[in-house]
C-alpha cells in the first residue's frame, strides 16, 4: 500500500465509514480527520472514527498521501481552498460525491498542480452524522474513479489499491458518463422519492396520520430514500443539473406513455413494461447488488431490519 497517511475532511456517514474501514482492513494506514462542526469532531473522537481528529483542516492534511473530501459537493470548493497552502506536493486529492464533472473542475481549480482523482463509492444509507458510519459499508460495493487524461497512472493505481483495500470493487469511468449513469440509477430515484412523499404529505383529503399508518411497502421504501441528507441531495441536483434534467425529460416522456396506457386500458403495454422491469430487478440480485429474500431481507415487517440499504 503506497498510501500510508490518509486525511478525511468531513466525518459523517461516508467519512466516518472510511476511517473505520481503514482501521479494520488497512491497519498500516494512519488516518487524520477534520469536520467543520466542533460537535461532530467531538463525537467522531469518541467513536474513534480516525486515528486523530484535528482542530483544523490544515493540520489534518499536513502529512497526507491521500486527502478525501467527504463533505456535500457544494462545500468542496471552500474546503479545498482552505487546505491549499498545507498540502504535501505528492498528495492525491479525491472525494466521495455522486456528481463528478463539477467536483473535478472545482478541485483542479482550487488545488492547481496537485493530482486530483474524483471518486464515487456507490454505497450509503439514509442515515447521516458521525454515529452513522460503519466499517463494512464499502464491502463488495462499486467505487467509480473518474481520472482525466493527465492523471498519473501510478496515482490512479494507488487510489485503486486504497479503495480495494477497504472492500470496494473498482470501475474507471469518464466523469461525464458517470454523471449520466448516476442521474438514472440514483439521482432521479431520489427526486421521485422526495416528490411522492411530499405529495402524500400535502394531500388535503388524506391525513398525515393515515399516510404514516397505512404505508405499504412501496411508499415505505420511498420514505427511506426521502430521509436522506437534505444538504447533500440539494447540492447533488444543483451540481449534476444537466444530466438530471436530461434524464428527467426521458422519465417524463415514459410517465406520459404510462398515463396513456392506463387511460386507454392498454393492459398489454403495462404487462410488457412490468415484465421488462422485473428482469432488471432480477439482474440486480444476480449481480449481488441487493437481497432476494422476502421484503428485501428485512428482519421483520416494521421496516427495522438488519440489512443496510445502499
Nearest residue to 298 (alpha-carbon basis) of 226, 223, 221, 227: 221
Nearest residue to 93 (alpha-carbon basis) of 40, 22, 146: 146
Cα–chain center distance at 159: 18
Cα–chain center distance at 138: 11
Domain ranges of the chain: 5-173, 177-264
Lowest-confidence pick of 39-48, 83-92, 124-133: 124-133
Q: At what angle do helices 188-202 and 241-263 cross, to 10 degrees?
A: 60
Mean per-residue pLDDT of the chain? 86
Q: 90-127: per-residue pLDDT in tens?
A: 999 999 998 899 999 999 999 999 999 999 998 877 67
* Residue 309's pLDDT band (cuts 50, 70, 90): very low
CATH topology of domain 177-264: 6-phosphogluconate dehydrogenase C-terminal fold (1.10.3660)
What is the reported pLDDT for 164? 98
Residue 299 has pLDDT above 90, yes or no: no
Q: Where are the beta strands (DSSP E) in the chain?
A: 5-9, 30-34, 52-53, 66-69, 92-95, 115-116, 119-121, 142-145, 169-172
Q: At what angle do helices 241-263 and 230-239 cross, to 10 degrees?
A: 100
Q: What is the DSSP letter of 69?
A: E
| Cα→Cα distances 210→196, 216, 226, 303, Å | 15, 11, 18, 17
* Residue 244's pLDDT band (cuts 50, 70, 90): confident
Q: 182-223: per-residue pLDDT in tens?
A: 888 788 888 888 888 787 777 756 666 666 666 666 777 777
What is the reported pLDDT for 23? 97
Q: Which three cell numbers stand for residue 176?
A: 461525464
* Residue 242's pLDDT band (cuts 50, 70, 90): confident
CATH code of 5-173, in short, is: 3.40.50.720
Higher pLDDT, 113 or 305: 113
Residue 306 has pLDDT above 60, yes or no: no
Amino acid at each position: 500500500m503506497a498510501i500510508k497517511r490518509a486525511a478525511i475532511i468531513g466525518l459523517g456517514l461516508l467519512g466516518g465509514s472510511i476511517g473505520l474501514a481503514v482501521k479494520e482492513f488497512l491497519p498500516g494506514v494512519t488516518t487524520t480527520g477534520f469536520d467543520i462542526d466542533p460537535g461532530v469532531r467531538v463525537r467522531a473522537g469518541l467513536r474513534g472514527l480516525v486515528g486523530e481528529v484535528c482542530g483544523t483542516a490544515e493540520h489534518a492534511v499536513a502529512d497526507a498521501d491521500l486527502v478525501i473530501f467527504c463533505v456535500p459537493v457544494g462545500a468542496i470548493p471552500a474546503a479545498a481552498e482552505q487546505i491549499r497552502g498545507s498540502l504535501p506536493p505528492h498528495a492525491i486529492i479525491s472525494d466521495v460525491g455522486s456528481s463528478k464533472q463539477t467536483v473535478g473542475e472545482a478541485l483542479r481549480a482550487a488545488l492547481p498542480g496537485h493530482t486530483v482523482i474524483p471518486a464515487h463509492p456507490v454505497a450509503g444509507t439514509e442515515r447521516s452524522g458521525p454515529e452513522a458510519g460503519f466499517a463494512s459499508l464499502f464491502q463488495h460495493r462499486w467505487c467509480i474513479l473518474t481520472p482525466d487524461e493527465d492523471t498519473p497512472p501510478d496515482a490512479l493505481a494507488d487510489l485503486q489499491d486504497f479503495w480495494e483495500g477497504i472492500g470496494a470493487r473498482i470501475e474507471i469511468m469518464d466523469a461525464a458518463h458517470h454523471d449520466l449513469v448516476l442521474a438514472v440509477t440514483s439521482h432521479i430515484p431520489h427526486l421521485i422519492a422526495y416528490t411522492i412523499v411530499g405529495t402524500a404529505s400535502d394531500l388535503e383529503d388524506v391525513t398525515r396520520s393515515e399516510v404514516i399508518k397505512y404505508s405499504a411497502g412501496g411508499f415505505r421504501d420511498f420514505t427511506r430514500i426521502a430521509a436522506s441528507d437534505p444538504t447533500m441531495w440539494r447540492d447533488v441536483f444543483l451540481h449534476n443539473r444537466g444530466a438530471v434534467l436530461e434524464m428527467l425529460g426521458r422519465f417524463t416522456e415514459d410517465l406520459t406513455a404510462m398515463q396513456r396506457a392506463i387511460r386507454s386500458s392498454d393492459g398489454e403495454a403495462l404487462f410488457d413494461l412490468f415484465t421488462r422491469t422485473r428482469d432488471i430487478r432480477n439482474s440486480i440480485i444476480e449481480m449481488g447488488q441487493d437481497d432476494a429474500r422476502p421484503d428485501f431481507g428485512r428482519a421483520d415487517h416494521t421496516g427495522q431490519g438488519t440489512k443496510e440499504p445502499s
